[in-house]
Amino acid sequence: MPHSDPLSSAAGAHLREPDSVRLAEATRVFALLSDATRLHLLWLLALEESDVGSLAERVAASRTAVSQHLAKLRLAGLVEARRDGRHMHYRLTDGHLRRLVTEALSHADHRVTGQAPHD
């Protein structure tokens, strides 16, 4: 029976051995995800595009703090912004990040609730 690679079943996975550049980039992304407010913002943006005011309300933070977090995420290329009149709307840039955030929080849910892990 052939050996099955568990990574090959991940939707959209790129199956290449990571080199130092890719490892550094992934580490940079994980560092940005290590802040609870930024992770919450990314989770909300994984659901839908949103403006700063709505995001600030949802994460219970000031507009200034949310704007600063979004600026970091935008500079890192993790979110994009578009102007709509007086409002800036933000969205995630790709499906890999959406899945990463969703999977990280699903994993956390299992850890918190005690549910058994699954694929």
**In this predicted structure, what is the pLDDT of residue 93?**
87
Whether residue 49 is contained in a domain is answered as yes
Whether residue 108 is contained in a domain is answered as yes
Whether residue 27 is contained in a domain is answered as no
Whether residue 29 is contained in a domain is answered as no
Whether residue 25 is contained in a domain is answered as no
Rg (CA), the chain: 16
pTM across the whole model: 0.85
**In this predicted structure, what is the pLDDT of residue 16?**
86
Q: What is the DSSP string of 85-102?
A: TTEEEEEES-HHHHHHHH
Amino acid at site 89: H
Residue 53 has pLDDT above 60, yes or no: yes
Residue 92: name the closest of 56, 38, 54, 53 by CA.
38
Average model confidence (pLDDT) across the chain: 90
Q: What's the DSSP call for residue 80?
A: E
Split into its structural domains, the chain has a count of 1
Supply the range of the domain harboring residue 82: 37-119
CATH number at residue 69: 1.10.10.10
Whether residue 80 is contained in a domain is answered as yes
**In this predicted structure, what is the pLDDT of residue 2?**
43
Q: What are phi and psi of 66, to 5 degrees?
A: -65, -40
Distance CA 113, CA 111 (A): 6
Whether residue 110 is contained in a domain is answered as yes
Whether residue 26 is contained in a domain is answered as no
